[in-house]
Amino acid sequence: MAKKNIATFVGPNQGLSIAGDYAYAYSGTVASTTGNQTLLEFTTGKEFIVGKITTAGSIPNNGGGVANGDITAFTLSFNGLEITRMKTETTQEDSPTYSTYPLLIPPHTAVKLIVLSSGTNGSTSAIIVGRIYNA
């Protein structure tokens, strides 16, 4: 009988989870802070990952509102070098409340996603989803 890879989702974590030929990392919903906060952090293996990253900022907390103009900035780094910055705002501003970008993560890469919010009345989250390819 062939061995099967079966993944069980046990909730958000900062690491990379593998399910067959797919990988994902999900931060869960995290309360916004005005200081730098690590949402995702992991190191890839010998494979590379082709996928996408979705970031969501300034999500209203239950029973609370998000101030008009709250900004959430995400910084994605590979091996300690900044790769990109992503910005989201409340719906009253000129940027969307979430953003999705294509992503290629090379083998043996330390990945870190940091978030910085301008307000503390909301929540934020991020997810990386992709397909694993052998290098």
Average pLDDT on 6-35 reads: 73
Which pLDDT band, with edges at 50, 70 and 90, does 101 fall under? very high
Name the more confident of 63 and 20.
20
Residue 92 in this model has a pLDDT that exceeds 70: no
Residue 88 has pLDDT above 60, yes or no: yes
Residue predicted with more confidence, 66 or 49: 49
Does this model's pTM top 0.85? no
Residue 102, pLDDT above cutoff 90: yes
- Gap between the Cα atoms of 23 and 120, Å rounded: 31
If DSSP states are collapsed to H, E and C, what string results for 77-97?
EECCEEEEEEEEECCCCCCCC
**24-63 per-position pLDDT tens digit:** 999 888 777 767 888 999 999 899 999 999 988 765 555 4
